[in-house]
Structure 1
Amino acid sequence: MKKIAMRLGKFWIGAAALGCMALTQGCSSEGAPKEARTAVTATAVADSGAVQKKDSVAAVKDSVAAKPAADSAAAAKETAFVVKDEAASKPGAILPHKRIVAYYGNPLSKRMGILGELPPAQMLAKLDEEVKAWNTADPATPVQPALHVIVVTAQGKPGSGGKYRLRMSDHVADSVISWAKQRDAIVFLDIQIGQSTLEEEIPRLEKWLKLPQVHLGIDPEFAMKNGAVPGRRVGTLDAKEINYATGFLNDLAQRYNIPPKILVVHRFTQRMVTNYKQIELRPNVQIVIHMDGWGDRVLKKSTYNSYIKREPVQYTGFKLFYHNDTKKKGWKLYSPEGILALNPKPLYIQYQ
């Protein structure tokens, strides 16, 4: 499988999540009951997601000093883009009142993220440590723990449905939701649609999304157009597709009289989200555009500024990779204090 890279100034930034994409073979892509316990085999693509300098010069240390947390009112103003967020004032709204710290992955794979890398009890204990660190770094913004599980995984083969995606069985979502209850955590169901559509994949998740603690994530990297195959190029979603997702969530919140829903949209290239100015804000939905790139801190910050800050929608997120952000000499994982030095301050933090 060929590497994917995009020029960013004098640097190269690659596909953030290709190395965690599930490439199972011989499995139905339609989520038959027998798939409930089927292991997801994550085939890593060597270095394909690495954010690295073209000339192999050692990574430069992040020179941005952490700033003290402001009071809650000032922090809310600084962390949020200046946009209308009607949902923020509604009962049960999470943003911008709390910062979400999430563990990402799939419980059937140890290579798709920390959520599945460790047994549940150990994973939750490690999440507790991160929550404590973030509460210490910014006591003005309480942490809301979360588990972010991939329930539709992109595939390198078409499968019986010909959609290049594998739907997880109900057991996966049910298990993660039950783990989350042990920490009063919220849950994000993440979908990598392959050659399917959001209209085809989101409605089947309604029985979970109607729960007040369950939210949605969509990954444009694996939304393939014009017959493209996941893993061979970076996918894309347009504003009109994102508007479908927010419209669905908004209707759910109204129909079931539940708190505002959160939609997390992954992004690390320009093309992954098109026509961002046409993304509609809803009265019962809060949108997070999430920086999904991995590598050294300087380039992660550059990616955040280039594709998240410069094309604002509502709130921002920032992903940290325990392994890929530290895989090369000189690379270090961003600390909470380092991330809090970003402007705007991300209110959604994801660990993979």
Structure 2
Amino acid sequence: MIGPKITGNILPAKRILAYYGNPHSKKMGILGEYPKTDMLRRLDEEAKNWEKADSLPVQKALHLVATSAQGSPGKDGKYRMRMSDKTILKVIRWAAEHNAICFLDIQVGLADLKPELEHMEKFLKLPYVHLGIDPEFSMKTGARPGSKIGTYDADDVNTAVQFLDRVVKENNLPPKILIVHRFTQRMVTNYKNIKLNPNVQIVMNMDGWGPPVLKKDTYRAYIQKEPVQYTGFKLFYHNDIKRPPHKLMTPAEVLSVTPKPVYIQYQ
């Protein structure tokens, strides 16, 4: 597959605009809500909106939930389902053919993080494939995913960083990007202990939904006040308009927060 030419750091020279979801689910996000052609057309249109709002160039992306937390234990009792290689390669190919990068997102359920990372290694050897980890579905207490909000500690984030660092070094790759989702205090603990690495660009992504005032408050409380390296902001085409004022934030409104997020995700 011939994808976008990535030769160095993507951030902060570009703003990443990602469509999130899974092609097997219309409810998980925009990536699977529409047929491929329609979805990519919408991504292009959204990219134009961001290019008008700010001088920073846009790097388009597809963000696939590649390991999905489940409400039932499955055969191994881990409450997670890995997507098939066929599904993962399909979305990577969609991205590559559209000059977009691709993120593989991991929801571990009751599984350990390290084996889930290793399962994705063969895909992460591609220079335009990056990683996301979701504390919401890391159920360290053994609770069923979705019954309560999960958590990662700095040690878990560092495990992902060290893994990506090794992949970069062993395969002579440009730096990888690691997305860490967050919308509560306990989702990421001991953030000061997260260790920066020149081969990994860490993005703390504000993942909460609701009206603009709530989203901005969440960003200030858990992203701005506990910075790591770069910041992200998630927008929900459906959930953000469920409650008054029933409004999806515009690029200009998102860019009014401090610091300006360099990773934007739509679900």
TM-score range, shorter chain: over 0.9
Aligned to 1:23: none
Matched residue SS, 1:130? helix
Q: CA deviation at 1:171?
A: 1.2
Aligned to 1:226: 141
Aligned partner of 1:124 among 30, 40, 52:
40
- Tell me the alpha carbon deviations over residues 40-94 of structure 1, each in whole angstroms, 9 at most, x when there is no partner: xxxxxxxxxxxxxxxxxxxxxxxxxxxxxxxxxxxxxxxxxxxxxxxxxx94210
- Tell me the alpha carbon deviations over residues 298-324 of structure 1, each in whole angstroms, 9 at most, x when there is no partner: 000000000000000000000000001
Q: CA RMSD in A?
A: 1.0
Aligned to 2:154: 239
Aligned to 1:335: 250
Q: Counterpart of 2:72 in structure 1: which amino acid?
A: K
Q: Counterpart of 1:331 in structure 2: which amino acid?
A: H
Whose relative contact order is higher, 1 or 2, with alpha carbons under 8 Å and at least 6 apart?
1
Q: CA deviation at 1:226?
A: 2.3
Q: Counterpart of 1:311 in structure 2: which amino acid?
A: E
Distance in 1 of aligned mates of 2:245 and 2:12: 34
Matched residue SS, 1:290? strand
Q: CA deviation at 1:188?
A: 0.2
Please list every run of 5 or more consecutive structure 1 residues that lacks an aligned counterpart in the other structure. 1-89
- Tell me the alpha carbon deviations over residues 218-260 of structure 1, each in whole angstroms, 9 at most, x when there is no partner: 0000000121110111000010111010001011111111110
Aligned to 2:3: none
Please list every run of 5 or more consecutive structure 2 residues that lacks an aligned counterpart in the other structure. 1-5
Aligned partner of 1:308 among 209, 223, 238:
223
Matched residue SS, 2:173? coil
Deviation >6 Å, runs of 4+ = none
Aligned to 1:87: none
Distance in 2 of aligned mates of 1:296 and 1:244: 34
Structure having the higher Rg: 1
Q: CA deviation at 1:328?
A: 2.6
- Tell me the alpha carbon deviations over residues 10-52 of structure 1, each in whole angstroms, 9 at most, x when there is no partner: xxxxxxxxxxxxxxxxxxxxxxxxxxxxxxxxxxxxxxxxxxx
Aligned to 1:297: 212
Matched residue SS, 1:147? strand
- Give percent identity, aligned residues only: 62
Matched residue SS, 1:295? coil
Distance in 1 of aligned mates of 2:218 and 2:57: 26
Distance in 2 of aligned mates of 1:347 and 1:149: 19
Distance in 2 of aligned mates of 1:316 and 1:193: 23
Q: Counterpart of 2:33 in structure 1: which amino acid?
A: E
Distance in 2 of aligned mates of 1:323 and 1:347: 22
| Pairs within 5 Å for 1:210-289 | 210-289=125-204
Aligned to 1:178: 93
Aligned to 2:104: 189
Question: Cα gap change, 1:91/1:171 in structure 2, threshold over 3 Å: closer, same or farther?
Answer: closer
CA contact (8 A) 1:297 1:331 kept: no
Matched residue SS, 1:202? helix
Aligned to 1:105: 21
Does residue 318 in structure 1 map to residue 233 in structure 2?
A: yes
Matched residue SS, 2:66? strand
| Number of residue pairs aligned between Structure 1 and Structure 2 | 262
